[in-house]
Chains A and B, each alone.
Chain A
C-alpha cells in the first residue's frame, strides 16, 4: 500500500467515525423530542362546534394583542387580549440575536429576549451604560437599541419607542454600544369559538410574567483622565407608558429570520 493510500484509508475512518457520532447525536435528539411530544400531548380544551354562520369568518379573532408595555429588564412584555378572538402575541426571536460584548441582545416582546437584552445591556454598556430593554412589538422587527456611555458623560440608555428613559449611572468608562435586532413571527388569529354571535370585546389584562434577569458582568471601562466631569444623573422623565402599536406583521407563515446585529 502506498503512503497516499494509507492516508486515504485513515481519512475514510475519520469519515465513518464522524458520521457515526453525528448519527448518534441525531438519534438522541429525535428520541428526546419524541419523549417531549409524548409528555406534552394533551387533549384540546373546549367543545367542538360546527361553524354555522352565514357570514364566514365573522367571528374570527382578527384582533392582535396590543403591544405589551415594555418591561423592566426583569419583566417580559405583558400580552393583552381583547375582542372575541384570542389575541396572540408575536413571539420574538431571541435566537441568533446580535451579540454585543458576548451577550445576546434581541429586541422582542419575549420574556427571555428581554432578559437577554438586559443582560446584553449590562455587558455592553460599560460602567455607565444604562440597561436597555427588549421593546414590545407587534409582529415585524424591532430592535433593542442601547448606547454605551461615552467617557466622562452620563449617557442615558435609550430605548426605541421611548417607553421610559433610564438615566445613566456614574460617569466613567467607555462602553460599547450595540443594537440587537430581533424578528418577530407574525401573530396568528384563533377562530372564535362561537361563530354567528357578535360578542363584545372584552379586555383582559395581560399578565406580566416576571423574567429572571441575570446580572450581566460589568466590564470596567477605561476612564478618560481629566475630562470626566462630576457625574450628574440626568433623571429621565418617564412619559406615560403608552403602548405603541407596531406595524402588524403580514398574515401568513413568516419564517423566523435570524437578524444578526452588528458585532463589536
Chain B
C-alpha cells in the first residue's frame, strides 16, 4: 500500500472510535440532567467500553443519584486523593457519606472548598456541618467493629476498593479513641495485608 493509502486507513481508524463514545456521553449527560439516571448509567457504561475514560466518574455520579454508593465508590476508583475537579469530588463525598464513610467524606468535602462555585461550596459546608455533629464524640468500639466487619465482608466479596475504604475509616476512627481500639487490625486491612 502506498503512503496515501496508509494514511487514509489511519484516518478512518482514528475517527471511527471517538465520536461513538462522545455520542453516548452526550446522551448520558442529557439523561442525567433530566434525572433519568438509569438510562444515563447505561450510556456512560457504553461510553466507557468505547474508550472514554472520564465515563467512570460520570457513572459514579450517576450511581450516587441512584443511591448505590458502594458501586459509586468503585466507579470513582476509590476515595483517596483529589479527583478530576471539585464537582466530581463533591459527588465522591456524597457517595462516601451515604456509605457511612464519614471521615473520608469530610476529607473530600474539605478539598472541594474554594475550587467549586458558590452552590457546591454551600452544599459542601452544610454536609460538613452534619458530619461534624457525628464526629463530635469519639466512636464507640461497636462502631469500629462495624467498619471492620464491612471491610472483611467486602474483602470476601473481592471488592478491594471498598474493603480498603472501610478499613481506612476504621483505622481513622480508632485513632480518635484514646485506646486506639483495634487500630493495628484496621491499618493492616487498609493497606491490604490482611488475608
Contacts and interface: CB of A to CB of B under 8 A. Distances in A.
Interface residues of B, number: 78
B65 interface: yes
Contact of A41 (B19, B123, B143): B123
A14 B70 CA distance: 44
A52 B146 contact: yes
B157 A252 contact: yes
Interface of B: 2-4, 7-8, 10-11, 14-15, 18-19, 21-23, 25-26, 28-30, 32-33, 35-36, 38-39, 41-43, 45-46, 52, 54, 58, 61, 65-71, 74-75, 85, 87-88, 90-91, 94, 97-100, 102, 117, 119-120, 123, 126-127, 130-131, 133-134, 139-140, 142-143, 145-150, 153, 157-159
A42 B176 CA distance: 30
Contacts of B33: 32, 35-36, 39-40
A38 B117 contact: yes
A162 interface: no
Interface of A: 4-8, 10-12, 14-15, 18-19, 21-23, 25-26, 28-30, 32-44, 47-54, 56-57, 86, 88, 91-96, 110, 112, 185, 188, 190-191, 195, 251-253, 255-256, 258
B120 A41 contact: yes
B149 A188 contact: no
The residue among B11, B66, B94, B140 with the most chain A CB atoms within 10 A of its own CB is B11
B68 A188 contact: yes
Which of B38, B45, B52 is packed against the most chain A CB atoms within 10 Å?
A: B38
Contacts of B19: 21-22, 25
Nearest to B36: A112
